């Protein structure tokens, strides 16, 4: 099993390497790929040193799987070239998510849609992944009519430079800024770029990706994305209006039975999800589950997850695990390529 990570030296790429190691993914040949300035340098994986290669050389090595975390423009240029060589690409950028011909996959929800013909598979946005996993049992059992989402997103979602900006500000150091304002001791209602409708690109990802993953374009969704001075993960306050009546205890039972979900909902004893506790974890944590007192058939939830793990690296590796488990990649598929 030849596995390439494109963007292996980046923040998410580094976590991808660690997740592959932790989950004992069956890598026989590891191919780290990065920008030209990193080619030739060494990187460690499973206690071995590997030399970073460039795109063309990586394609020539014909990896079975290439996990991309190198930005949308890189993915749009290179993912089709890897796919044409027979590699199955799992892409973490926004490049292919809303492409009608590409699957947008959270394995616990819709991995069963994947076939050997899917050579470019989209990994959803980090804030979408954790939310739809928590929404899955609710939509399945009661149908979702409307979502009102407010996110509190970690600076890690913006990358290494954002983390450094936060750390510099806390130390009183003047350095490079990736946000238009200070982030320490501040909240920025600004995720991504602003669009013509007044929403940001991050907010519209929540709208469009949720509908695609849950397979229901009729869900009414509005979102506000806020960047906060936090490292450990993304938090979301989600108001859910269902199409059918529900009992709150049944909602909680459905969440508890969902793989990948941990319910932390004992507010009297100060137990509820927090990014501090979600950091370096693969699960999605759900709490503050309560009926909305202002509307019938509505409830509120607080959803937290490490955006670099389940929100990016872990979800991508879980897709790869599904492909291997169901014989959708590997030597057994060579003849069909």
Annotated catalytic residue within 181, 187, 190, 234: 234
Q: How many CA atoms lie within 13 A of 214 on its CB side?
A: 30
Contact 319, 129 (CB under 8 A): no
Q: Cβ–Cβ contacts within 10 Å for residue 228, how many?
A: 16
As a whole number of angstroms, the distance between CA 104 and CA 116 comes to: 15
As a whole number of angstroms, the distance between CA 62 and CA 55 comes to: 11
Structure-token pair, residue 112: 């069963």
Q: Cβ–Cβ contacts within 10 Å for residue 29, how many?
A: 13
234 a catalytic residue: yes
Structure-token pair, residue 120: 């470019």
Per 3-state DSSP, what percentage of the chain is helix, strand, and coil (rounded to 5)?
35, 25, 40
181 a catalytic residue: no
Active site residues: 126, 234
């Amino acid at each position: 099993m030849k596995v390439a990570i494109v963007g292996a030296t980046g923040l998410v790429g580094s976590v991808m390497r660690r997740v592959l190691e932790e989950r004992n993914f069956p890598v026989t040949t590891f191919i780290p790929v990065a920008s030209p300035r990193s080619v030739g340098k060494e990187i460690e994986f499973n206690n071995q040193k590997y030399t970073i290669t460039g795109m063309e050389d990586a394609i020539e090595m014909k990896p079975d799987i290439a996990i991309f975390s190198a930005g949308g423009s890189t993915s749009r240029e290179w993912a089709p070239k890897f796919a044409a060589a027979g590699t199955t690409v799992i892409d973490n950028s926004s490049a292919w998510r809303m492409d009608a011909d590409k699957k947008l996959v959270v394995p616990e929800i819709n991995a069963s849609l994947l076939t050997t013909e899917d050579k470019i598979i989209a990994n959803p946005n980090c804030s979408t992944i954790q939310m739809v996993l928590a929404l899955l049992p609710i939509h399945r059992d009661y149908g979702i009519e409307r979502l009102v989402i407010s996110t509190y997103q970690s600076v890690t979602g913006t990358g290494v430079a954002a983390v450094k900006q936060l750390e510099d500000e806390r130390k009183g150091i003047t350095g490079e800024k990736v946000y238009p304002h200070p982030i320490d001791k501040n909240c920025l209602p600004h995720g991504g770029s602003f669009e013509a409708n007044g929403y940001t690109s991050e907010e519209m990802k929540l709208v469009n990706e949720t509908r695609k993953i849950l397979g229901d374009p009729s869900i009414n969704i509005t979102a506000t994305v806020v960047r906060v001075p936090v490292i450990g993960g993304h938090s979301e306050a989600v108001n859910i209006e269902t199409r059918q009546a529900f009992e709150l205890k049944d909602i909680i039972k459905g969440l508890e039975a969902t793989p990948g979900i941990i319910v932390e909902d004992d507010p009297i004893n100060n137990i509820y999800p927090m990014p501090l506790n979600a950091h370096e974890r693969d699960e999605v944590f759900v709490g503050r589950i309560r009926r909305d007192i202002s509307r019938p058939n509505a409830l509120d939830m607080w959803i937290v997850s490490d955006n670099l793990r389940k929100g990016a690296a872990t979800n991508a590796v879980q897709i790869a695990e599904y492909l291997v488990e169901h014989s959708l990649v590997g030597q057994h598929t060579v003849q069909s390529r």
